[in-house]
Chains A and B, each alone.
Chain A
């Protein structure tokens, strides 16, 4: 069985700063990391490899040459092989153009080794869209299942997988025919410590790097900025709200004032003696 995990290098959004003058990202202000949801997707592939024999795990990323780092990171978690598509032609892609480029790379990977399952993180923390996974599935005409919180059954013989898919208030239990694409939530697993042999392998590993010329049947008008229907019109800080009342006095007085106001306005919510 061949599982391909799509991974993305993202700036650590917890740390990144915005240049207030230009309203653009100061990318130097944050380290680039493996998108946390994608790390869980790689981990889930490793878990499946433990469950059934003969699982081969590849990871695929699109990005600049530095994205090598997250492919190495994926090998530390337990992936067997890594592919990076890197070309200026891919730059500036929105979710539609991204899913197109990745689907072309996946077709090429499938020609080397047929793919049974594609895993993606629920979304990337720099874009927060969650649109690329289902987009890839549509382009390859395989069923997508998003927001997966647990893989409960995996049958290589029947080529089916049973998963729990998170809903607004509960979950769906679904049986899916492979090949299929799943996007995973963080609660699907815990990231484990990488075993030493993986670390050693990753340190020496160089991924397979493809440019657009290495991919087959590519319509270049669907790539990068040209192939992206959406554009960023403007960036702005939202209009400021008025702001309410600042409580004054000592800490004790402020707390007392606050409780008085709350009981005046929302008495029904509190069990007053």
Chain B
């Protein structure tokens, strides 16, 4: 059965003509898988007036781009996008099909997997292949995130997975790279659509700034209570950082859900990441381990957060934080608004 299915595909998510970062990262990860399997790597691109994006998809590693360009595909909707992706997958039969674990990528992959009656692994953070069996090994944190599980789909094709943003690495774009563009037509009518997009509102809210922040101060349950958590805000304000929290802290109601960092929250890659009173459960670590510099402050010397930390301070956060705030205050300028702007850009 699986002999008929060949090639690695990546769904290229675009919004208003701009390709999502995770799609480019997946082209990098997909390139590795395709090379191991000795097959080609293809991007799947749907939208309105998106042909111009094919060049970029190829430059980031694709050998082929399957394109469906149609006015009804202007904005993402499950019904229309699903139809296009299923048409392509049934016709060209890839063995592996990857999607970014964004709201749209997860939504699309779930619908497509149901119609193709195939397996789908959610929120993958590691990808590999078993060459002999041509099996995708999609691994993800499981059971609240203290352990990794490798999920296999042995008998159904394509093998599908959604992959967390910012955990795979995009290749350096090569503008000389050649590729093939395959355009496909589809029958779609706006009047058949049961979902209408009334408007799209861009919101540069807290979570957006968290994803873009250059410095993040993240607090965990080790701070003890919500009152002590104000020290996190104080440090953030002094150095111009954004504030985040662990799942525990959000579940306890100390912070809004948008500020949760980890597998089920935001994945962040700041230049400097303070993990204060954070134990370092796997589900948290996958959301921050690609930060440039990680500082761990925790009184438990054996906490796993120290394994990923660049600098570790074993000590009580309630003792260390006030000292840190005080010493930073002494050497940094007090520019109020400008300071809190410094960590963002």
* Binary CB contact string for chain B from 190 to 207 against chain A (1 if under 8 A, 0 otherwise): 000011111111111000
> Is there a chain A Cβ closer than 8 Å to B155's Cβ?
yes
> Shortest Cβ distance from A71 into chain B, in angstroms?
23
A142–B78 Cα distance when bound, in Å, is 11
Residues on A with beta carbons closer than 8 Å to the beta carbon of B215? 269
Residues on B with beta carbons closer than 8 Å to the beta carbon of A18? 143, 146-147
Residues on A with beta carbons closer than 8 Å to the beta carbon of B338? 271
Residues on A with beta carbons closer than 8 Å to the beta carbon of B312? 243-247
Residues on B with beta carbons closer than 8 Å to the beta carbon of A143? 78-79, 194-195
8 Å CB contact of A147 from B103, B123, B155, B311: B103
Cβ of A167 and Cβ of B198 under 8 Å apart?
Answer: no
Cβ of B106 and Cβ of A237 under 8 Å apart?
Answer: no
> Is there a chain A Cβ closer than 8 Å to B263's Cβ?
yes
Cβ of B208 and Cβ of A146 under 8 Å apart?
Answer: no
A134–B309 Cα distance when bound, in Å, is 38
> Is there a chain A Cβ closer than 8 Å to B339's Cβ?
yes
Cβ of B122 and Cβ of A232 under 8 Å apart?
Answer: no
8 Å CB contact of B156 from A142, A147, A165, A229: A229
Cβ of A233 and Cβ of B198 under 8 Å apart?
Answer: no
Cβ of B320 and Cβ of A266 under 8 Å apart?
Answer: no
> Is there a chain B Cβ closer than 8 Å to A126's Cβ?
yes
Cβ of A246 and Cβ of B314 under 8 Å apart?
Answer: yes
Cβ of B119 and Cβ of A96 under 8 Å apart?
Answer: yes
Q: In residues 24-40 of chain A, which contact B (Cβ within 8 Å)? A: 25
A17–B200 Cα distance when bound, in Å, is 42
Q: In residues 120-139 of chain B, which contact A (Cβ within 8 Å)? A: 120-123, 126, 137
Cβ of A168 and Cβ of B20 under 8 Å apart?
Answer: yes
8 Å CB contact of A233 from B114, B150, B307: B150
Q: Which of A133, A173, A246, A271 has the largest count of B CB atoms less than 10 A from its CB?
A: A271
The 3 A-B pairs at the shortest CB distance, nearest first, are namely A13-B144, A229-B119, A134-B110
A145-B195, A258-B324 are known; give 6 further A-B pairs, CB within 8 A: A14-B247, A134-B110, A146-B103, A169-B202, A172-B200, A243-B312
